[in-house]
Amino acid sequence: MLESPLVFIIFNRPETTLQVWARIRAAKPSRLFLISDGPRKGHSADLERCATVRGIVDCVDWPCRVSRDYSEVNMGNAVRVSSGLNWVFSQVEEAIILEDDCLPDASFFPFCAELLARYRHETRVVQIAGCSFQPQVFAGKDSYFFSRYTHSWGWATWRRAWQLYDHSMRTWHESRGGDWLPKLIANPAERRIWEECFDATLAGRVNTWDYRWTFSIWRQQGLSILPYRNLISNIGFGSDATHTRRSSPFAALGLSPMPFPLVHPDSFDRDESADALTSRLVFTPPGWPVRIRRKLKQWLSR
């Protein structure tokens, strides 16, 4: 059985929830927190779909202490996830967190559990991620590396780290022109992307919690653990998704089981070459020929 507390965040997607729930049932967590948002106004199908999803996770057929935080009204992604995690960490010191479209490899659970214990009191480390965009050919001898990126498609953290979460992002405007972000991200193109994301989040144009989490961690110079092998496949890309509606090369990535025993890094140094590769692959805008091809493809599909 999985001894680390597990958080499962659900909403209105029975198809993906069933797949992720099957992996959770196989892991058999002894402590389970279920967080659900309520149906949206003007979306009549949400009533039935939310009820169906909650029915799926009612089937807990192993010894487990279950706690539920279900909202009957729609709170939105940012408030529902952050308030749910506040509720979780008011009760436990650490947890593994999955959303309803993040399909884990079986090795994701022991990977997180071991590292939660190993870095429990190491304040420089603020989260453990399950997904990795690193091509396997570039993997080092270690099982994981330290990074600036806070990937949240399947992750784990501690109460001490979640207390750093600043939902209001109150210091963003006063720190926007400072030198801390250029020191963290040397690439001007990527830096502009993050500035736009933080601006849009604070202005309410983007309703999400994860940009707020990233900002909070970057301001504290926290380190994230990323595996060299991909342990999470996001199966939620599509028209019914909240944020991942567009097609993406990172949709439904293949899973690569983590071998044990884990090989730990010798130091807490951030892997700058791995972060630079992630920057190029994920966060740097494509050149104009690629953008033109994408726009043409979208126009033709319409």
The three-class DSSP label of residue 210 is helix
Could you tell me whether strands 125-129 and 155-158 are parallel, antiparallel, or unpaired per DSSP bridges?
antiparallel
Beta bridge partners of 123: none
Angle subtended by helix axes 44-56 and 14-27, to nearest 10? 10
Nearest of 78, 60, 59, 91 to residue 9 by alpha carbon: 78
Distance of CA 244 to the CA centre of its chain: 12
Nearest of 31, 28, 21, 35 to residue 68 by alpha carbon: 35
Distance in angstroms between the alpha carbons of the first and the last residue of the chain? 49
The three-class DSSP label of residue 253 is coil
CATH fold group of domain 1-100: Rossmann fold (3.40.50)
Structure tokens at 93: 């010191």
- Return the domain boundaries, the chain: 1-100, 103-302
Residuewise pLDDT in 10s, the chain (302 residues): 999 999 999 999 999 999 999 999 999 999 999 999 999 999 999 999 999 999 999 999 999 999 999 999 999 999 999 999 999 999 999 999 999 999 999 999 999 999 999 999 999 999 999 999 888 656 678 999 999 999 999 999 999 999 999 999 999 988 998 999 999 999 999 999 999 999 999 999 999 999 999 999 999 999 999 999 999 999 998 655 454 445 678 888 999 999 999 999 999 999 999 999 999 988 886 654 444 455 555 555 55
Nearest of 33, 36, 32 to residue 70 by alpha carbon: 36
Q: What is the pTM of this model?
A: 0.91
Which single residue is written with the structure tokens 């399947």? Answer: 154
